[in-house]
Amino acid sequence: MTSGNYSSEYPTATGLPDPDALLRYTDWADLDLFTSIGDAQWVPAALRALLDPDPAAQSEALNDLEPVRHQNSIYPATVPAAQYIAAILADPRTATECMFGRRRGQKNRRAPLRSELIIWLGDLIWDAEDSPHDDPDVSAVLAMRPALFTVIAPFLHDDDASIRSAALAAAILLVEAPQLAHHRTEIAERAGIALDCLAATDVDVQDPRDSSYALAVAARRMG
């Protein structure tokens, strides 16, 4: 088993670990691999449940992962959890529509799990960029940006508007990586067009968990 953060020993073409191998070979019982509530032994079950055939179980699994990123903090268990989430984005089971919004008194809303997972990854990158870069876990998250862009970029063309918005919001943050600088012009152009479309509609961008909100906030950062 791999001790501590899972180090892509079984990489796929995306540069991310194979998700099943990651769950199998990461030593989740390692005391150095922790979350905000202690050890990470519960994390694999929550990650597996993201692909559960029951949409309610998928939504609950994402809620259950809150201690991995509690209060915008990055923990040793955050990195393998993020690698798994990124590695399953293309899995058809993440296209399932689920009910979200029960946390923090938010109103219920329906959205594809995939858009929520992309928002989760985008929020993680935001947190990492605003954290001390000499922290090894933060550095590990930032090092994932090229691989994350590889798996998220195809969803810039998705048929679902919420997935497209989530992907664009994440891409705006990801292209801050020096390795992705050559994508900045394209992403900025896409962001400008998307924001013009939002301004021309009555879309509510006040829900912090909505992909349109994520896009609007990320675009302000691009500024």
Residue spans of the domains in the chain: they are: 19-222
Instruction: Tell me what pLDDT residue 26 has.
Output: 95
Neighbours of 139 (CB within 10 A): 15
Going by C-alpha positions, the residue among 213, 183, 36 that lies closest to residue 116 is 213
At 132, give phi and psi (nearest 5°).
-60, 120
**Dihedral of the alpha carbons of 82, 84, 90, 91, in degrees to the nearest 10:** -140
Amino acid sitting at position 108: N
Provide the sign of the torsion angle of the four alpha carbons 10, 66, 160, 212, taken in this order: negative
Q: So what's the pLDDT on residue 223? A: 54
206: buried, middle or exposed (CB in 10 Å: 19+, 13-18, 0-12)?
Answer: exposed
Q: Give me the mean pLDDT over the 22-38 stretch.
A: 95
Phi then psi for residue 2, to 5 deg, are -85, 130
Please check the confidence at residue 128 and state whether its pLDDT lies above 50: yes
Give the domain 19-222 fold: Leucine-rich Repeat Variant (1.25.10)
98-126: pLDDT as tens digits? 988 754 445 577 899 999 999 999 999 99
Percent of the chain beyond pLDDT 90? 68
In the predicted model, is pLDDT for residue 140 greater than 70? yes
Is a pLDDT exceeding 70 seen at residue 41?
yes
Task: Give the integer Cα–Cα distance in Å for 208 and 2.
Answer: 36
pTM for the model? 0.86
